[in-house]
Amino acid sequence: MPTNPPTTDLDAAMMARALELAARGEGRVEPNPMVGCVITQQGEVVGEGWHQQHGGPHAEVNALAAAGDRAAGGTAYVTLEPCCHTGKTPPCTGALLTAGVARVVVAVRDPFPQVNGGGLQQLTDAGVVYEVGVGEADARALLAPYLKLIERGRPWVIAKWAMTLDGKLATSSGSSQWISSPESRELVHRLRGRVDAVIVGAGTARDDDPLLTARPAGPRTAARIVLGEIPPASQLVKTADQAPVISVVPAPGAHHKVPPGVESLAVKGRTHTERLAAVLDELGARRMTNVLIEGGARGLGAAFDGGLIDEVHAFIAPKLCGGADAPSPIGGHGLADMTKALRLTGVRIETPGGDVYLRGRVEQGVS
Domains, in order of start, for the chain: 9-149 (3.40.140.10), 153-362 (3.40.430.10)
Q: Per-residue pLDDT averaged across 44-49, rounded?
A: 98
**Residue numbering of the annotated binding site for Zn(2+):** 58, 83, 92
246 strand-pairing partners = 225, 263
Q: Can you spell out the DSSP letters for 107-137?
A: EE----TTTTTHHHHHHHHTT-EEEE-TTHH
Binding-site positions for NADP(+): 162, 178, 204, 208, 296-302
Mean pLDDT on 140-148: 98
What 3-state class would DSSP assign to 224?
A: strand
Binding residues: 58, 83, 92, 162, 176, 178, 192, 204, 208, 212, 215, 294, 296-302
- Listed range (228-242, 268-282, 352-366) with the worst mean pLDDT: 352-366
CA–CA separation, 38 and 35 (whole Å) = 11
- Show which residues are catalytic: 60
Q: What's the confidence (pLDDT) of residue 365?
A: 45
> Per-residue pLDDT averaged across 313-328, rounded?
95
Residues 160, 314 contacting (CB under 8 angstroms): yes
CA 308 from chain centre, in angstroms, equals: 14
Rounded distance between C-alpha atoms, residue 12 and residue 204, angstroms: 47
C-alpha Rg value of the chain to the nearest Å:
23
Is the pTM above the cut of 0.85? Answer: yes
- DSSP tag of 321: -
Question: What does the pLDDT average to over 178-194?
Answer: 96
When the pLDDT of each residue in the chain is averaged and rounded to a whole number, the result is 93
Residues near 336 by beta carbon (within 8 Å), at least 6 away in sequence: none
Q: State which amino acid sits at residue 25.
A: G
Q: Is the pLDDT of residue 254 over 70?
A: no
The reported pLDDT for the residue numbered 173 is: 87
Q: Rounded mean pLDDT of 183-203? A: 96
Indicate the range of 19-28, 37-46, 292-301, 308-317 predicted with least confidence.
Answer: 292-301
Residue 184: band (very low, low, confident or very high) from pLDDT cuts 50, 70, 90: very high
> pLDDT class for 366, splitting at 50, 70, 90?
very low
Residues comprising the binding site for substrate? 176, 192, 212, 215, 294
Return the top range by mean pLDDT from 14-18, 175-179, 270-274.
14-18
In this predicted structure, the answer to whether residue 43 has a pLDDT above a threshold of 60 is: yes
pLDDT band per the 50, 70, 90 thresholds, residue 133: very high
What mean pLDDT comes out for the span 223-250?
94
Dihedral pair phi/psi, residue 142, rounded to 5°: -65, -40
d(CA 190, CA 169): 21
Grade residue 85 by pLDDT with cuts at 50, 70 and 90: confident
Contact 75, 105 (CB under 8 A): yes
pLDDT band at 251 (very low <50, low <70, confident <90, very high): confident
